[in-house]
Amino acid sequence: LLPQDPSRAIREAQEALRGQLQALEADSGNARLAQQTIATLNTLGSAQAAYRQYTAAVASYQQSVDIAQKLLQRLPEYPPYRRDLVLSLNHLGLAYSRVGDLSEARQAFAEARAQQQSLCEAFPTNAEWFSMLGAVFNNLGFLHRQLENSDVAAECFRSAIAAQEKAIKLAPDVQRYRDYLKKHTANLEPLPTGGNAT
């Protein structure tokens, strides 16, 4: 529904979320339910952002981050929980940048980067982890471009390119990684404004 009817997507996600949050409150130790709730919150945030409800999107993503952090505290070595946290933080950073709270956006992206780098260090042959790291660096570069820190932005885009190249080396048949690499490379070009978030 999201591309065609974000308003309806918001309603559907909110309805699903009500049931999930009630179930999670009754069974807070249910990790699978927590992951499903995180996914619903991220979907809701994406629908809200598509509908230009950026403040609401920030709240949805922040709730997703909170649940993901609790999950990771319980099992800090379990990679999917760290991945869920990174995805939520990355979405949160984008939402903060859209409402103009660039300080909070930088903090969210910085935490996402640190968490994702730890995944790449722990799993140096996982192409998806490096691709995700590239996406986070790309968005951090996009933010620094908004802050008019062009040197830092360029450094972030170069890091995004390096991470995506590593992903391609590990999984050369995945076209999505090549598409992301093109986006990161284009963002490194000396443009006064703009860029493509991931």
pLDDT at 193 over 50: no
Confidence band of 6 (pLDDT split at 50, 70, 90): confident
> pLDDT tens for residues 39-51?
999 999 999 999 9
The predicted-structure confidence for 50-107, as pLDDT tens digits, reads as follows: 999 999 999 999 999 999 999 999 888 899 999 999 999 999 999 999 999 999 999 9
Q: Is the pLDDT of residue 127 over 60?
A: yes
Q: How far apart are CA 195 and CA 198, in angstroms?
A: 10
Q: Please, which pLDDT band fits residue 33 given cuts at 50, 70 and 90?
A: very high
pLDDT in tens, 130-147: 999 999 999 999 999 999
Higher pLDDT: 197 or 62? It is 62
Average pLDDT, the chain: 93
Average pLDDT score over residue span 14-32: 92
Distance CA 114, CA 109 (A): 9
C-beta of residue 163 within 8 angstroms of C-beta of residue 137: yes
Determine the Cα angle at 178 with ends 39 and 98, to 5°: 45
pTM of the model: 0.89
